Every structure is written in structure tokens, then in C-alpha cells.
Amino acid sequence: MRMRSVLPAGTLVLALVGCAGEKAPVMAPVTTTQTRNAPAWIDNEEIPDGLAAVGIAQSNPMGDKGLMRTVAVADARTKLAGKLKVRVQNLFSQLNQQVTTAAADGTRKPIKSDVMNRVIENVTRQVINQELAGTSTRATWTDPEDGSLYMFVVMTRESMDQALASTAKAQIRKEIAQGEQSLDKALDKLDAAIAASNQPAS
């Protein structure tokens, strides 16, 4: 009786092990460029010399190419605005860290969070408005399957850095003039902070 009860259990275990050992075939992901012979920038919009985004516009019944270009550029600029906002936040994170480290001797007051937030907000708004107006289209592609228009819109790093430096300096000086002296060291460290914020997050 004991053998009869053990054998079916052993058989069941072997069957389960055999099933577990069988792996379903893994399907490789298929990208847009592979399936539609599209340019590489549609799948990878990162560029070494600035920020870029891909704007998309669906084809319209009227076949209005001008409207499609307007929609695609607007889509790309919206995406660029989000990236630029992160860029400004990274800049001030680096700047705040450098200023805090320099003031660690206790002779200076730390920068107030509401002051820093106000500076960041003002710089972000001004830089986004300025830089989005200066974007350029680097490439376009029309999907032969559905007629969608893809536009590769970029802003250069040199232009961004110049805009960040000038706008940030103006905002920091404004706060200093209003009595926020804890920001005075920020002007000396702004260039280093801009360079540090160019580095990708680890």
C-alpha cells in the first residue's frame, strides 16, 4: 500500500519538473524603425549636442501638410519643455549643493527653500519660453503606412547654457537686491553648476 501511494506522487513530481523545464519561446521586441524602415531618431531622440524630441501628427482627411507640420512641431515643443524643466531643476540642484557646501563653515545662512523655489520657477518659465522659440527641425519623416508625420525638433546645448546662465544670473541678482544675501555665492558657482547639470543622471 505504501509503494502504491509513493509511486503516483513521484510520477506527479517528475511531470511537474518536466513542465517547468519547458520554456515558452521569447519574442524579441519589434521597434518602429525595424517594422517601418524609419530613421533611427524616431526610436532614440537623444543627441550629444543638446535636447531633442520627436513630434508626431496624424494624417488628416484634408491632406493639409501645413497643419500636420504645425501639430508635429507643437507636440515636439511640449516634450522639449518637459525635458528643459528637468534640466533647470538639475542645474539648481547642483547649484544648491555647491552653495550649501561652501557655506558649511557656519558663517553664512542657508538659502531659504521658498527663495530657491521662486528662482527655479522664474528661470524655468523664462528659459522655456526663450528656448522653445529658438528650436529648429533637424529631420522629418512620413510613415508610408498611415501617413503620420514625424518631426525631429532640437535645441542646441550652447544656446541652452547661455540662456540658463543669463536668466539664472538675472534672477539671483534680483533676489540679492531684495535682501537674500545667502545667494551671493551662487553667482560664482553658476558655471560649474551648469556644467554639472549637463551630465546624465547616474
What pLDDT was estimated at residue 47?
93
pLDDT of residue 27: 41
pTM of structure: 0.75
Residue 51 lies in a domain: yes
183 domain-assigned: yes
User: Which pLDDT does position 56 carry in this prediction?
Assistant: 95
Domain that holds residue 114: 46-197
- Specify if 179 maps to a domain: yes
Give the model's pLDDT for residue 200: 61
Residue 139 lies in a domain: yes
Q: Beta strand pairing status for 50-57 and 149-156?
A: antiparallel
Q: Given this model, what pLDDT does residue 102 score?
A: 64
Q: What is the pLDDT of residue 180?
A: 82
In a domain, 110, yes or no: yes
What local confidence, expressed as pLDDT, does residue 60 receive?
85
Establish if 113 belongs to a structural domain: yes
Per-10-residue mean pLDDT of the chain, 202 residues long, equals: 46 45 44 69 91 93 89 96 93 86 63 87 94 93 91 94 94 89 85 85 45
| The total number of structural domains that make up the chain | 1
pLDDT of residue 145: 86
Let me know if residue 17 belongs to a domain: no
Residue 157 lies in a domain: yes
